[in-house]
């Protein structure tokens, strides 16, 4: 991979080699519709970054591009401190092997297996359930599983079936399954969707506890949750970055308010009742159910 010395990254940081993720000039269209447009995105090693944006802004597509599920039309996605891997040139499983883990919105755990076995299965990686069921875990495996159980606070549920967990606990277990593989970069799509307030808060604590040990991208709709995490926020709008900064700065930015609340405010002024979707799926002021909450 070539190192482009005149790239914008060099001007963004004293030490560009410290970026874990360097995305430049990224473009992706589906059927002529530009979903990701001239996107530049830089993430520090060990950073916990929150990406917000209205429905259809391109957030999930960005994760698809990073994980190799979708290939871009143009641009680079460089991974690693020395920007040594251009992910756009690699296949999904190769990217995963480099240490990029993704958590989808809906939890996918093995319901018929215990919490412990779910973690053991994910530790075994792609070798599969059949292999893993006859695999005797080493002391190292046990220690790792124990460590993850502690992190996701499911120690006391370890011998229970994953299917018996609450929605929130399943989400944590799935995060734990990714952690078992010790990812360098963890991508989490709307982890708080469908959670109770208490679970949401616990999820925030969990993600904060991972900061520094892993680099983490969290996509989120729930502003209460974004405020709790209170790390650098990137606002994505029509496939480009609209604003980047601290939660307070972002929330009070007129451009951001317009994108999220423009039509809502206009209607409020007219004293009209407005359906929730008029806010384009986000409320910057209070906690609301996510519009993409799984059924
Ligand atoms: N595989 C695909 N084929 C066609 N259009 C897609 C595909 N994936 C996403 N899109 C479109 O791209 C836009 C952005 O979608 P998405 O990335 O899911 O947004 P977000 O996650 O921010 O809500 C939407 O208009 C969506 O319909
Ligand atoms: Mg999405």
State the pLDDT at residue 99: 94
Quote the pTM value: 0.83
| SS3 label, residue 38 | strand
Q: Which of 171-175, 215-219, 236-240, 273-277 has the lowest mean pLDDT?
A: 273-277
User: Which tens digits make up the pLDDT trace of 10-22?
Assistant: 344 455 558 999 9
User: pLDDT band for position 260 (50/70/90)?
Assistant: confident
State the pLDDT at residue 222: 82
The atom number, within ligand 1, closest to the CA of 292 reads: 23
Q: How far apart are CA 95 and CA 131, in angstroms?
A: 23
Q: Is the CB of 30 under 6 A from ligand 1?
A: yes
Is residue 112 exposed (0-12), middle (13-18) or buried (19+ Cβ within 10 Å)? Answer: exposed
State the pLDDT at residue 241: 96
Q: Is the CB of 281 under 6 A from ligand 1?
A: no
- The per-residue pLDDT of the chain, averaged, comes to 84
The atom number, within ligand 1, closest to the CA of 57 reads: 22
User: Which tens digits make up the pLDDT trace of 200-259?
Assistant: 999 999 999 999 999 999 999 888 899 999 899 999 999 999 999 999 999 899 999 888
What's the Cα-to-Cα distance from 95 to each of 65, 119, 163, 183, 280, rounded to whole Å? 11, 21, 29, 11, 32
Residues lying with their CB under 5 A of ligand 2, a single-atom ion:
59-60
State the pLDDT at residue 274: 44
State the pLDDT at residue 38: 97
Q: Is the CB of 53 under 6 A from ligand 1?
A: yes
């Amino acid at each position: 991979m070539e190192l482009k010395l005149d790239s914008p990254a060099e001007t963004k940081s004293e030490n560009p080699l410290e970026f874990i993720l360097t995305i430049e000039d990224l473009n992706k269209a589906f059927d002529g519709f530009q979903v990701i447009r001239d996107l530049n995105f830089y993430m520090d090693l060990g950073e916990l970054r929150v990406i917000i944006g209205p429905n259809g802004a391109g957030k999930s597509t960005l994760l698809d591009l990073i994980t190799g599920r979708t290939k871009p039309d143009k641009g680079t996605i460089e991974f690693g401190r020395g920007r040594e891997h251009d992910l756009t040139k690699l296949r999904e499983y190769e990217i995963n092997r480099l240490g990029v883990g993704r958590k989808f919105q809906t939890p996918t755990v093995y319901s018929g297996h215990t919490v412990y076995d779910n973690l053991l299965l994910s530790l075994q990686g792609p070798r599969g359930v059949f292999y893993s069921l006859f695999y005797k875990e080493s002391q190292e495996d046990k220690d790792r599983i124990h460590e993850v159980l502690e992190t996701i606070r499911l120690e006391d549920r370890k011998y229970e079936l994953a299917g018996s967990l609450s929605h929130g606990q399943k989400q944590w277990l799935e995060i734990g399954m990714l952690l078992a593989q010790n990812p360098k970069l963890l991508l989490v799509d709307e982890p708080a969707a469908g959670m109770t307030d208490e679970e949401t808060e616990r999820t925030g604590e969990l993600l904060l506890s991972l900061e520094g040990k892993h680099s983490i991208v969290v996509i989120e709709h729930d502003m209460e949750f974004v405020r709790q995490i209170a790390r650098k926020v990137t606002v994505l709008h029509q496939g480009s970055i609209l604003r980047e900064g601290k939660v307070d700065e972002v929330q009070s930015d007129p451009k951001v308010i317009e994108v999220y609340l423009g039509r809502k405010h206009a209607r409020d002024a007219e004293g009209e009742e407005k359906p929730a979707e008029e806010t384009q799926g986000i409320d910057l002021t209070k906690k609301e159910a996510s519009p993409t909450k799984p059924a």
